[in-house]
Amino acid sequence: MLFIFDWDGTLSDSKAKITKAMQIAAEDLGWVPLADHVIHNIIGLGLPEAIHRLYPNVSVEERQRLREAYAMRFLMLDEARPSDFFPGVADTLQYLKAQGHMLTIATGKSRRGLDRIFGVLGLGDFFHATRCADETASKPNPLMLQELLSEFGVGPGDAVMIGDTEYDMEMAKNIAMPRIAVSYGAHHIERLHPYEPVLCLDRFDELLSWEWIHK
């Protein structure tokens, strides 16, 4: 089976760091920082799309300044302390790979950002493929999922999207791909239920109880 994982909020416990970096970046520009829950709502989108949603009334130039300030602040915070995996993630991924499943990433991160994190964590060749928002369409557009399906020559029914936001669930539902929601990420689990996930996880390692893994 082809497993497609979101990164932030699903595998990586980075919600607080993303939030803090966006708030500090706003302060760098002399703006009033937004509340935590407002920033949580855009986690999962590509950075340009996220900033546009947060600050729809500022100019393109000002959004670019915020984008650059955020990237710098996030890098500083992450270099000081890289985000941990959520409990059970590392062992579960190792098990799935050992069983012969294909493991991939579909993330709102930039390619540069994801590759940097892979380098820090030593994951350069662990995943079979990855897609980032700046090299395809941002979620909830399903293009990154369609590209991964095409790369591995499988249909939506032979893959599953695992994520923590409405954007993950929506893009998978748009192409009739099964989806699994996690309850510990950026969006409250009640927001994910309308997308009819086949499974809801309170801990990542509960994924191993899914019957499709053992077929």
Strand (E) or helix (H) holding 113 = helix 111-121
- Using CB atoms within 10 Å of the CB of residue 175, give its burial: 0 to 12 exposed, 13 to 18 middle, 19+ buried: middle
Give residue 213's pLDDT. Answer: 77
Take residue 108 and report the two structure tokens written for it. 């709102």
Query: What's the whole-model pTM score?
Result: 0.95
Which residues of the chain are in CATH 3.40.50.1000 domains? Answer: 2-12+85-214
pLDDT bracket for residue 212 (50, 70, 90): confident
Give residue 137's pLDDT. Answer: 95
Which residues of the chain are in CATH 1.10.150 domains? Answer: 15-80
Q: Hey, which residues does 106 pair with through a beta bridge?
A: 131
What is the per-residue pLDDT across 8-31, written as a single tens digit (0 to 9) for each?
999 999 999 999 999 999 999 999
Cα torsion angle, 64, 69, 71, 74, sign:
negative
pLDDT bracket for residue 136 (50, 70, 90): very high
The position carrying tokens 């369409």 is 137
80-86 mean pLDDT: 91
pLDDT bracket for residue 91 (50, 70, 90): very high
Let me know: does 127 contact 152? Beta carbons within 8 Å. Answer: no
109-116 mean pLDDT: 94
What is the per-residue pLDDT across 68-78, written as a single tens digit (0 to 9) for each?
999 999 999 99
CATH code for residues 15-80 = 1.10.150
Give residue 139's pLDDT. Answer: 97
Closest CA to 162 of 117, 125, 123, 207: 207
Mean pLDDT for the chain overall: 96
For the 2-12+85-214 domain, the top CATH level (class) is: alpha beta
